[in-house]
């Protein structure tokens, strides 16, 4: 699962008469509030914490006693004036430390006594003192592979190697689908056919295993500005999830081929994945981008050819405000009430005492991870220590296989480049986390809905939780109702009463900053913080929640009145190739988060619920 990380574009503003094409920009500069300006009225604050942070800190310390001391500021030029302020800045004794193209502005150091002069100059929209913020990070698992592992064909051809297992280092999807009973539904021709599964993640890449399986929704990530990266998964997470949910080798068209362990087949091979890219090559995305993506899913759920009935969120933050006011909780509840089953990763925080946001919302299906321990039965299955337990009032609803899951490799992605030991037989990649478990459950939900299209989200949740298999060696808190058994769920009758959930509803009127938790975007040491979206507009939670419910938050390519670069054509892959190119050769080289290098940093411990890419996690 991924926890929200956002990043602002560093492209400098285009020179006069050379505007950037709107279709490639994160947001057109029609906004009237600076993205990075610390406007007190809207609660917007940023910090500088990269190169220059020490200088800025020293300047701030000295500013109280010396009017000539340099202070860190965020400057936004008025794009309609045609004038720039950088020459005046230099005349006043200041200098630019970072261009911030998305706001037509920059970060700078400026003598304190000159701040008002620059602020009042023609063509300057705003000058705001920069503020500091400290955040925490976590680390990737770099445990090396346990040894060479045979490919899927070798497993199938060698009777001495069970189809569900090669070595202790990974678990195949054939093993997963057999364990949870998915193959039994395939035998009844229920493969997820006709069901659309929205995957809000880092995008996907075309290739064998996803050919014909993916429809691209809008790209709401910061890479939507690049025609070579738009909709493509430069991180590696989304492709891994897509393979688990609905991957299928092209030759796997019959039941015999679907169950043949030499083929790669996800849980719901007949379903379609609607991919909405919100995360960039380092996993960076903001809560507001995820909210926009959920809004899009709700508004387009009934579009021709989509039929979105499932929403996969292998994502979460460590925000801890009450779900009854939390914007993310409201968004997933809205999708739920509109008929979409929302499956959310519980998180990888072990016994932290809380599920991630929005998994803590009681309506959705919160998924923990299960470890098969290399056997086809459940007698020795456990829940890994890192799988979030939640609290006595809200824990995981169910668990699904999430340890060392073998899915599709995204060659040249961030994960691929940084964790080569997770590669298996060139084509596959190994990952652990509640992300993977969530993808398994999303596929299982699609199977149930393809069998019984009139099922409501509450009924689906009841069927899965009431038929789950208890794990005798796993703790009760960690496993929730137990391991999903989709075969039993498909055979279970619905009672007349006791299925409908009636928890207090969220109104979404809380803080978007609180929903972020400790995860913030940074670019050049400048972090976004406060009640704003990524466009820098003040966040009006009540206005958004009302428009979200009425399905009017999206108007064409505008979300809440803001223009987005991500455009949707409603088509499947049209010959675009990834060819294993590296994202690092194209964009965002040397980006930072919370003032730390992304190199060796982890989405797994904070946002995306993929615990590790090498199969075993060590704290």
> Locate tokens 């796997």: which residue?
252
Residue 279 near residue 237 (C-beta atoms within 8 A): yes
pLDDT at 27 over 80: no
Residue 69 near residue 62 (C-beta atoms within 8 A): yes
pLDDT at 198 over 80: yes
The residue among 366 and 235 whose pLDDT is bigger is 366
Residue 331 near residue 476 (C-beta atoms within 8 A): no
Active site residue 589: no
Least confident of 42-46, 119-123, 343-347: 42-46
pLDDT at 531: 87
The residue among 83 and 139 whose pLDDT is bigger is 83
Residue 383 near residue 390 (C-beta atoms within 8 A): no
What is the mean predicted confidence (pLDDT) over 277-295?
Answer: 86
- Angle, alpha carbons 564-337-320 (nearest 5°): 70
Active site residue 506: no
- 593: preceding bond cis by omega (within 30 degrees): no
pLDDT at 527: 64
- What is the distance between the alpha carbons of residues 75 and 96, in angstroms, rounded to a whole number? 10
- What is the distance between the alpha carbons of residues 67 and 77, in angstroms, rounded to a whole number? 24
Q: Find all residues with CB under 8 Å of 570, minimum gap 6, and list them.
A: 215, 303, 305
pLDDT at 271 over 50: yes
* Distance, C-alpha 609 to centroid of its chain: 9
Sign of CA dihedral 125, 129, 135, 141: positive
- What is the distance between the alpha carbons of residues 6 and 516, in angstroms, rounded to a whole number? 10
pLDDT at 496: 83
> Collapsing DSSP states into helix, strand and coil, what is residue 261?
coil
- What is the distance between the alpha carbons of residues 407 and 602, in angstroms, rounded to a whole number? 19
What is the mean predicted confidence (pLDDT) over 566-571?
Answer: 42
Marked catalytic residue, from 9, 85, 435, 506? 435
pLDDT at 288: 85
Q: Find all residues with CB under 8 Å of 564, minimum gap 6, and list them.
A: 26, 27, 218, 220, 224, 292, 557, 558
pLDDT at 127: 80
When pLDDT is cut at 50, 70 and 90, the band that residue 353 belongs to is confident
> Locate tokens 């892959």: which residue?
573
Write the pLDDT tens digit of every residue in 32-85.
222 222 222 222 222 222 222 223 333 333 333 466 788 877 787 876 666 778
Average pLDDT, the chain: 74
Residue 173 near residue 404 (C-beta atoms within 8 A): no
The residue among 251 and 62 whose pLDDT is bigger is 251
pLDDT at 435 over 60: yes
pLDDT at 32: 20
pLDDT at 100: 54
pLDDT at 150: 31
The residue among 297 and 547 whose pLDDT is bigger is 297
pLDDT at 206 over 50: yes
- Domain boundaries 50-129, corresponding CATH code: 3.30.70.80
Least confident of 129-133, 576-580, 585-589: 585-589
- Domain residue extents for the chain: 50-129
Marked catalytic residue, from 169, 224, 237, 387? 237
Q: Find all residues with CB under 8 Å of 63, minimum gap 6, and list them.
A: 69, 71, 112
Marked catalytic residue, from 201, 249, 469, 485? 201
When pLDDT is cut at 50, 70 and 90, the band that residue 285 belongs to is confident
- What is the distance between the alpha carbons of residues 117 and 499, in angstroms, rounded to a whole number? 65
Active site residue 237: yes
Q: How many residues does the chain have?
A: 619
Up-side HSE of residue 463: CA atoms within 13 Å toward CB?
26
pLDDT at 603: 28
When pLDDT is cut at 50, 70 and 90, the band that residue 128 belongs to is low
Burial of 24 (0-12, 13-18, 19+ CB in 10 A): middle
Burial of 529 (0-12, 13-18, 19+ CB in 10 A): buried
> Locate tokens 């990763």: which residue?
345
> Locate tokens 């400057």: which residue?
75
Least confident of 91-95, 96-100, 285-289, 496-500: 96-100
CB neighbours (10 Å) of residue 14? 14
Q: Find all residues with CB under 8 Å of 493, minimum gap 6, and list them.
A: none
The residue among 275 and 134 whose pLDDT is bigger is 275
- 358: preceding bond cis by omega (within 30 degrees): yes
Residue 200 near residue 238 (C-beta atoms within 8 A): no
Write the pLDDT tens digit of every residue in 444-497.
999 999 999 999 999 999 999 999 999 999 999 999 999 999 999 999 999 888
pLDDT at 580 over 50: no
The residue among 378 and 268 whose pLDDT is bigger is 268
């Amino acid at each position: 699962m991924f926890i929200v990380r956002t990043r602002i574009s560093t492209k400098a503003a285009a020179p006069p008469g050379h505007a950037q094409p709107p279709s490639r920009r994160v947001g057109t500069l029609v906004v009237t509030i600076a993205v990075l300006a610390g406007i007190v009225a809207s609660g917007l604050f940023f910090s500088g914490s990269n190169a220059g942070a020490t200088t800025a800190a020293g300047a701030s310390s000295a500013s109280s006693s010396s009017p000539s001391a340099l202070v860190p500021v965020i400057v936004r030029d008025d794009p309609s004036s045609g004038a720039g302020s950088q020459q005046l800045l230099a005349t006043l004794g200041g200098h630019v430390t970072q261009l911030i193209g998305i706001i037509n502005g920059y970060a700078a150091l400026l003598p304190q006594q000159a701040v008002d002069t620059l602020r009042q100059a023609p063509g300057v929209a705003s000058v705001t003192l920069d503020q500091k913020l400290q955040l925490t990070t976590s680390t990737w698992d770099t445990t090396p592979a346990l040894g060479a592992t045979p490919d899927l064909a070798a497993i199938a051809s060698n009777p001495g190697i069970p189809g569900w297992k090669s070595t202790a280092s990974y678990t195949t999807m054939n093993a997963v689908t057999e364990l949870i009973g998915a193959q039994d539904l395939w035998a009844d021709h229920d493969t997820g056919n006709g069901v659309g599964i929205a995957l809000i993640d880092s995008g996907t890449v075309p290739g064998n295993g996803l050919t014909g399986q993916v429809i691209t929704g809008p790209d709401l990530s910061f890479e939507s500005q690049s025609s070579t990266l738009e909709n493509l998964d430069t991180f590696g997470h989304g492709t891994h999830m897509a393979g688990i949910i609905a991957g299928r080798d092209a030759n796997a068209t019959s039941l015999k081929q679907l169950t043949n362990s030499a083929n790669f087949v996800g849980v719901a091979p007949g379903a379609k994945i609607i991919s909405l890219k919100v995360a960039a090559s380092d996993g960076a995305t903001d809560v507001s981008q995820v909210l926009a993506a959920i809004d899009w899913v709700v508004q387009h759920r009934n579009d021709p050819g989509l039929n979105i009935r499932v929403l996969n969120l292998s994502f979460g933050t460590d925000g801890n405000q009450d779900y009854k006011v939390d914007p993310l909780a409201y968004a997933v509840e809205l999708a739920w009430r509109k008929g979409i089953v929302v499956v959310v990763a519980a998180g990888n925080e072990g016994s932290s005492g809380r599920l991630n946001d929005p998994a803590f919302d009681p309506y959705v299906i919160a998924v923990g991870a299960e470890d098969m321990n290399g056997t086809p039965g459940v007698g020795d299955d456990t829940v890994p220590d890192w799988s979030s337990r939640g609290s006595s009032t809200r824990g995981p609803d169910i668990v699904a296989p999430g340890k060392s899951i073998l899915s599709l490799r995204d060659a040249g992605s961030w994960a691929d480049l940084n964790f080569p030991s997770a590669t298996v037989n060139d084509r596959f990649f190994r990952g652990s986390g509640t992300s993977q478990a969530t993808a398994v459950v999303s596929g299982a939900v699609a199977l149930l809905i393809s069998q019984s299209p009139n099922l409501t989200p509450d009924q689906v949740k009841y069927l899965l939780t009431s038929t789950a298999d208890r794990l005798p060696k796993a703790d009760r808190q960690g496993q929730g109702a137990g391991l999903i058994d989709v075969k039993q769920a498909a055979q279970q009758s619905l009672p007349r009463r006791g299925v409908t959930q009636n928890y207090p509803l969220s109104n979404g009127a809380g803080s978007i900053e609180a929903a972020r938790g400790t995860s913030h975007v940074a670019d050049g040491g400048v972090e976004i913080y406060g009640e704003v979206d990524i466009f820098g507009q003040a966040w009006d939670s009540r206005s958004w929640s009302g428009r979200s419910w009425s399905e009017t938050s999206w108007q064409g390519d505008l979300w809440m009145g803001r223009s987005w670069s991500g455009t949707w054509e409603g088509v499947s892959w049209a010959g675009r190739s990834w060819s294993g190119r590296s994202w690092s050769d194209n964009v965002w080289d040397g980006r930072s988060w919370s003032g730390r290098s992304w190199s060796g940093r982890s989405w797994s411990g904070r946002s995306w619920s993929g615990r590790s890419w090498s199969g075993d996690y060590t704290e």
